[in-house]
Amino acid sequence: MILGVAARRGAATPPYPRPDDVILFCGGHEFPLQLQGGAEYACAYAAWMLQDDVTGEHRRPWPELTDADGRFVGVLVPPADGSVGLAQWQLNGQPFCAVGHLHRACGAAGLTIKNLTD
């Protein structure tokens, strides 16, 4: 599980012909998880793809952070190219938290992820 997205091994239909591919499903979108670069790269890539999907669907940045007073803090982004070698969310160009710890890290920092319907 990555960010609540179900993963399954072995897609039977193209474009994922290899039986050992790992495919992530999110809403109506699916994409292969690129494991050849290692787990950190795969997690960073998955976060980048999911962020792109959410942003496209809702036409607004995500995850957008606010402080306790509701003031805008920034939008988290994963490294798009995996160049840092870590699956992390970054805030204003600085590491914020590991991809799998988004909600817990926001709570610990006293921040909230703005609701997409607000």
Q: Regarding predicted confidence, which is higher, 19 or 2?
A: 19
In a domain, 99, yes or no: yes
As a whole number, the mean pLDDT across the chain is 78
CB of 26 closer than 8 Å to CB of 53: yes
Q: How many domains does the chain have?
A: 1
The Cα 52–Cα 79 span in angstroms is 12
Is 31 contained in some domain? yes
Per-residue pLDDT of 59-116, as tens digits, reads: 888 999 999 999 999 999 886 655 556 789 999 989 999 988 999 999 999 999 998 8
**The pTM is what?**
0.71
Q: At CA 106, angle to CA 98 and CA 117, rounded to 5?
A: 110
Residue 46 falls within a domain, yes or no? yes
Instruction: Evaluate whether residue 12 is within a structural domain.
Output: yes
**pLDDT at residue 118, rounded to an integer:** 76
- 118 in a structural domain: no
| Structure-token match 């992530």, residue found | 24
Which run of H or E residues covers position 64?
A: strand 64-66
**Domain contains 1:** no
Q: What is the pLDDT of residue 80?
A: 60
In a domain, 18, yes or no: yes
Residue 15 lies in a domain: yes
Domain that holds residue 28: 6-113
pLDDT for res 52 = 84
